[in-house]
Amino acid sequence: MNDILPALFHMLVFPGGLFAVAAGLLLKGLDRRVEARLQRRVGPPLLQPVFDLIKLAGKETLIPATANRAAFLTAPLIGFTGMAVCAALIPVSGAYSGLAGMGDMLVLFYLLPLPAIALMVGGSASSSPFGALGFSREMCLMLAYEIPLLAVLLAVAMRVGAAVGGGAELSLSAVAAHQIAHGQFIADPVMWPAFIAYLLFLPGTMGVPPFDVPEAETEIIEGPLLEYSGPALGFFHLTSALKSVVVLGLGVAMFFPAPVPGGAFVNVLWFLCKCAGLMLVSLTVVKSATGRFRVDQAFTFYLRYPAPLALASLILVWQGA
């Protein structure tokens, strides 16, 4: 019982739940603002994602007559809870070391696809043909980007494991602690291919251009999200905000977790800054410089570039370079 209360706190308040939602929405606002500036637009206010959510909360959730009601309404919650748990696993160096003793990198790998699965469940439950198309596209894309992710996670785990006495170190807080003590992986040439692979993984998992295939607005009019409205749609947006904190935070923890001197509060801010930096590089700039792949092109892209890069790091680590 004593373990459960702090764990719940971490999942619901900090760094999961409330904190991650707030951070995710802020990051989204920043993303939209910077993208607008890159396109010489003014862009919405920083808090626009929050306003959007408030508006959605006050609206009616319409359920298509032919939809499977239960699955249609549960799907948004699946993704949301999955991401709230994930957020609690991300260490914020200098402020929070992650839920200890849970082999968290494996858990993360299993939980990360949940929002995509939620999207697929929701899309097929909505009984819309666009949802069905979105389902198959999401599935295809997920298969493609999970491969480099797995290789990156393994490369990081084995790199730390090799340093502390063989095997793989699957605790994210240990990974972060090791780097703080022995230098960050972003400065380690062996890990550079893995870092690049992770940068390429981010737009795919976040579903932004050039990998926004499952929701392609001009092709299948947002696919699985098409039939969603009101709070249910809001939950999908919340999930996406949470997920951005999780994947960006995971990137920070795996490659440049070092804290700055100062208290916990300063380090939380520092963590957010690093997330924002990672987001601007891997999502915002990429998104405003590219169009959209076709689903087959996106699939081959992931097999052709990020997967070999991540594997290269993995092999180098394995060979003890």
Candidate list 7, 12, 38, 186; residue touching other proteins; CB under 8 A: 38
Residue 37 touches other proteins, criterion: CB under 8 A: no
Distance from C-alpha of 121 to C-alpha of 1, rounded to nearest angstrom: 34
Whether 124 and 54 have beta carbons less than 8 Å apart is answered as no
The amino acid occupying position 302 is Y
Residue 46 sits in the site that holds other proteins (CB under 8 A): no
72 binds other proteins (CB under 8 A): no
From the CB of 110, what's the least distance to other proteins, in Å?
28
Alpha-carbon radius of gyration of the chain: 19
CA 25 to chain CA centroid, nearest Å: 13
Please state, in angstroms and rounded to a whole number, the distance separating the CA atoms of residues 183 and 181.
6
Q: Does residue 216 touch other proteins according to CB under 8 A?
A: yes
CB of 155 to other proteins, least distance (A): 28
Nearer to other proteins, 43 or 259 (CB): 43
Min. distance of Cβ 288 from other proteins in angstroms? 4
Q: CB-wise, 26 or 216, nearer to other proteins?
A: 216
Told to check if 315 binds other proteins by CB under 8 A, we report no
The answer to whether 300 contacts other proteins (rule: CB under 8 A) is no
Cβ(101)–Cβ(203) below 8 Å: no
Which residue's entry shows tokens 């209360």?
Answer: 5
Which residue, among 51, 116, 73, 101, has the nearest Cα to 246 in the 3D structure?
A: 116
Q: For other proteins, which is the closer residue by CB, 45 or 290?
A: 290
Q: Which stretch binds other proteins (CB under 8 A): 31-39, 68-76, 89-97, 258-266?
A: 31-39
Binding of residue 143 to other proteins (CB under 8 A): no
Q: Which of 169, 157, 104, 150 is nearest to 317 (CA)?
A: 157
Alpha-carbon distance 146 to 255, whole Å? 18
Between 52 and 219, CB nearer to other proteins: 219
Interface residues for other proteins in 47-66 (CB under 8 A)?
Answer: none
If one asks whether residue 42 binds other proteins (CB under 8 A), the answer comes out as: no
Q: Pick the binder of other proteins from 6, 103, 129, 262 (CB under 8 A).
A: 129
Distances (CA, A) of 54 to 189, 204, 226, 229: 45, 27, 19, 13
At its nearest, how many Å lie between other proteins and the CB of residue 165? 46
> By CB neighbour count within 10 A (0-12 exposed, 13-18 middle, 19+ buried), where does 262 fall?
exposed
For other proteins, the binding residue among 209, 230, 259, 308 (CB under 8 A) is 209
Three-class SS of residue 153?
helix
Other C-beta atoms lying within 10 Å of the C-beta of residue 319: 8
Residue 281 within binding range of other proteins, rule CB under 8 A: no
CA distance 269 to 140: 36
- Does position 71 interact with other proteins (CB under 8 A)? The reply is no
Please report, as ranges, the residues that interact with other proteins according to CB under 8 A.
35, 38-41, 129-130, 132-133, 136-137, 209-210, 212-213, 216-221, 287-297
